[in-house]
Amino acid sequence: MNQGAGKGANVSGLPVSRRLQQKEAKRAALVDAALKVFSRVGFAAAKMDDVAEEAGVSKGTVYLYFDSKERLFEAMVRDKMAPALDEAVESFTVSDSSATERLRQHLRSLYARMLDGDRRQIMRLIMAEGPNFPHLAAFYHQRILSHGQGLIRSIISQGVASGEFRKMEGHGLARNIAAGAIVAAIWKLVFDHLQPIELDSYLETHVDLVLNGLRA
């Protein structure tokens, strides 16, 4: 009767011990706490004690879940970024709209996703600490940036095929189109108190500029 069968069985019939659920919940709490602390002060200045306190546990407990500060940082980035990929793909269900309309929609959803509080903090952390965490930079590039460029490129291809957009030859068109959103996200974290970004208006300017720039 070990393995907690009985009250440990969940709807799917698989035995999931109360222990494991709690462990998972605590791990998530620690990741949340880590995000807060790392966002506030950066990797090097963050204290494991503060992460522990933020999560309502003692420092020793943090080390039951993560081997080291670096591992905690990495786990945080991975955990918090995983949903972004799913969202991007989900929001991208191929529709039969025009490329113009799809690009407009895509940029709106990009802003919504990037300007999410957690996400832009992580983006800033990647830029700040990326050179010290090469595999995290690679992970972020592969899972988010590379994928995101692919989506934009596919819309552009459609638009070129349909005659809505002109064919542009140079490199980096997708990055160029996404740049406005990236800058908005960072700006909001670093300079917003000095010169606020009015996001809706900024977004519309961006969409307007890009769509006109691409028009055939």
Residues that bind DNA (CB under 7 A): 1-4, 17-19, 22-23, 26, 45-49, 57-61, 63-64, 68-70
Q: With DSSP H G I counted as helix, E B as strand and the rest as coil, what are the percentages for the chain, rounded to 5?
A: 75, 0, 25
Name the helix (H) or strand (E) containing 88: helix 69-90
Nearer to DNA, 57 or 186 (CB): 57
What are the strands, taking DSSP E only, across the chain? none
* Contact call for residues 149 and 179 (beta carbons, < 8 A): no
CB of residue 189 vs a copy of itself: minimum separation in angstroms? 7
Q: Which two tokens stand for residue 86?
A: 């799913």
Q: Which amino acid is at 196?
A: P
Q: Read off the DSSP letter of residue 196.
A: -
Q: Which one of DNA, a copy of itself, none interacts with residue 15, CB within 5 to 8 A by kind?
A: none
Least separation in angstroms between CB 146 and a copy of itself: 7
With CB under 5 to 8 Å by kind, the binding choice for 135 among DNA, a copy of itself, none is: none
Q: Which of 44, 82, 85, 89 binds a copy of itself (CB under 8 A)?
A: 44
Count Cα atoms within 13 angstroms, Cβ side, for 38: 28
152, 87 contact by CB (below 8 A): no
Q: What's the closest the beta carbon of residue 198 comes to a copy of itself, in angstroms?
A: 5
Residue 18: in which H helix or E strand, if any?
helix 18-41
Shortest CB 26 distance to DNA, Å: 5
Give me the residues that bind a copy of itself (CB under 8 A), please: 40-45, 124, 126-132, 137-138, 141-142, 145-146, 168-173, 175-180, 182-184, 186-187, 189-191, 194-195, 197-198, 201-202, 204-206, 208-215
